[in-house]
Structure formats: structure tokens, C-alpha cells
Amino acid sequence: MGESIDPVLLSDMDAYWRAANYLSVGQMYLLANPLLREPLKFEHVKPLVLGNWHATAGQNFIYVHLNRMVKEYDLNMIYIAGPTDGGVALIANAYLEGTYSELYPDIAQDEEGLLRLFKQFSLPGDRLSCVASEAPGSPREASELGDSLSYAHDVICGNSDLLAACVVGDAEAETIPSWLRWRGHECVNPTSGGAVLPILHLTGYEGVGRDQLRDFLHGNGFHPYFVEGADPAEMHPLLAQTLDAIVFEIGHLLSATRSSCLRRPRPWPALVVCTPRGWTAPMSLDWQQIEGPRRAHQLPLPEVRRNPAQLAMLENWLRSYRPEELFDPNGRLHSDLADLAPRGARRMGNYSRLIGGALLRDFR
């Protein structure tokens, strides 16, 4: 608590985040040349590019920091993605932690596996462009806007050791279903249920100010923690220290409620992460800003296949993550970075109750 995080660890976490971002962009755009071993050409890009970038880098950022919490405190945690249009983020992180390749052996952790991972995304008859149950660790389907908190509180019932990190998107947060479900933590039995950590991810879409949002969360029984910025060098230590404080607070509250068999005392911690819309994407296109405004909502570069300038921008975008520092010559994530992910059943994409078929029994 309050101690500074090892700068070497933070540097490795930044590299892991860059790897997740690289895989996310690759899934949206690339048909070949997955490690950029040669200059990018039109034939390396999908004829039809699909995907949604606006919150993807932020989701990847949150995911790598939750990985650290799982390892640091030996937590049993799952990740619930409210922004269902960011399917590339969940797939990228499930691949980096190894769960994806275990469930889909043809998508191996090598250059050929990377190529197949990229090619399958949004391919007719293959992987959807949004969050879906075929992505390891995902209990939700695309187009379900406003239900993430309900899923989170449902899955912790009867699972007293489970912590559900529920990322609520800013557009989702302003739906009527979401506004009604912020009080779900009052309905969980503290002696038999786990805990939900609401993570409100703001990217500039929200229509309320910080004071109004803080008052809203306070009114629903939460103690909000705000992490806001655009510079990764500042955001990494800030989010790491904030999550340390939150995990400590959750442990204290659970201990207090279970020892007295009372309802959870207020306030309950909630995290608000504010990042630029389209974070880490190219800054401008045709003299118009991309990162921040609505142009970052779906595809920042929509005409890559036929526009040489956009093709060059895509290559610069991909190379900005420095893939040569992230993957070995065989296309596998460097071992020191791979070690940042939890192992075995502790991986957030490997929670047995969220993997179809893992708990099936013969019907009698």
C-alpha cells in the first residue's frame, strides 16, 4: 500500500500492453505479413476491414494491470467486457496468456498462429468482430448494451472467492439498464458471494461532468477512484497504485461483512479510468484529428486497401508498438513478457464457468 511499483515491472507491463494493442490492430487490418518482416503492401491488408478501435487500447491497458493484481495477490478474477464491440481486445489478451491457443490449437503461439489469428477475425463463418462466447473468458454476446453489471453480479453468486472486474463502457453507462444496475452489490449475500469491481471506462463519450459522476457513484454506495490521463508513463504507475489500494479495500470490506454476517458496508470501491478515445491510434487523418473525436469510434483508417497514404499510416501505427521488441524470431511473445500473465486456472480467460463445455456432465 502506497509503495511505488518496480519501474522494470512497469516497463514490461507497457511492453505487454503494446503487444496486446499490436495484436488488436493486426486482427482488424492484416491478411498477411503478421510481424512486418517486409514493408506493408496493399495485398497484406484485408479487402474488407472491420472492428472498433475507440476503447480497445483502454481495455488492453486495464487487462494487463488486472493480470498483475491476479499474480500479486493470487486472486481468482474474471474480466467482463461491457464494451462488446471491442472483441479484438479480449481475443488478443486470451492469445497472449495462452488460453486461446489451448482451446484452438491451430492458432499456435508462433508466426503461423499469428497469421491465422489475424485472418480469422471478422471472416464470414469464423470469428465475430464483437465480443462473443467463442472468445475465452467472455460470458457476453455482442449488442448487449447495459447488461454487464448484471452478468458480473450473477456470476459471483455462490462463488465466494471470485472477483469480477466489470468494465462498463461510457456509452453503456448511460443506458437505462446500467443506471438501474449500479446497486447490484446490495443484493449479493456477503457470506456466499464473491465481489464485483465496477470499472467505468470513459473515452469522452459521456455526457456528465466529473462532479456529477462522483455524486452519482456516491449516491449508489460507491467510493470512486479516478485514474485519468493520456501519457502511458504516468498512467501505468497511477493505475497500479490505485488498484493496490482497491484490492486492499475490498479485502477489508469482505472480511468485515463476513465476520458480522451483515450486508456489505458502504461505500464499495469503484474504479473510473479515463483515456483518450482511440488511444494510441494515428493522431490525424486528412488534417482532422483521430485520437479523441468520433473519428476514432470504429476504424481510424477506413480506406487502407486503396489509399497509399493510409497504408503508410497503418504501417507506422503498427510499428509504433515496436513488434521486434515483443516477439522472438519465431513469432512468440518473449518469455519475460509472457511471464507477466497468470498461470493455469488463474488466467482471466481460463475461468472454467465461462468456457463452454468445461463443466459439462452427462445428462441423467
Beta bridge partners of 226: 272
Say what the pLDDT of residue 319 is: 97
Q: Residue 243: inside a domain, yes or no? A: yes
Task: Judge whether 352 lies within some domain.
Answer: no
d(CA 146, CA 86): 15
CATH number at residue 126: 3.40.50.970
E strands, 232-323, are: 268-274, 284-285, 288-289
**Distance of alpha carbon 325 from alpha carbon 336, whole angstroms:** 11
Within a domain: 356: no
CA angle at 345 for the pair 138 and 115, rounded to the nearest 5°: 60
Report how far Cα 281 is from the mean position of its chain's Cα atoms. 16
Q: What are phi and psi of 250, to 5 degrees?
A: -60, -45
357 domain residue, yes or no: no
Q: What does the alpha-carbon distance between residue 201 and residue 273 come to, in Å, rounded to a whole number?
A: 5
Positive or negative, the CA dihedral 121, 313, 202, 338 is positive
Asked whether residue 39 is domain-assigned, the answer is yes
Strands 288-289 and 284-285: antiparallel
> For the chain, what is the domain count?
1
Distances (CA, A) of 236 to 6, 59, 292: 11, 13, 20
Residue 309 maps to a domain: yes
Taking Cα atoms as reference points, which of 315, 347, 273, 287 lies closest to residue 76?
347
Hey, which residues does 121 pair with through a beta bridge?
A: 127
Show the domain range for 89. 7-341
**Residue that has been written with the C-alpha cell 481486445 in this structure:** 89
In this prediction, residue 273 carries a pLDDT of 96
Contact of 140 with 81, CB cutoff 8 Å: yes
pLDDT digits (tens, 9 = 90+) for 165-210: 999 988 777 766 666 677 776 777 767 788 999 999 998 766 678 8
Residue 363: inside a domain: no
In this prediction, residue 232 carries a pLDDT of: 96
Q: Given CA atoms 11, 12, 15, 21 in this order, what sign does their dihedral have? A: negative
Q: In this structure, what C-alpha cell is assigned to residue 339? A: 511471464
List, for the chain, all residue ranges whose pLDDT scores fall below the cut of 70. 1-3, 84-85, 123-134, 137-146, 175-180, 185, 190, 205-207, 261-265, 283-298, 352-361, 363
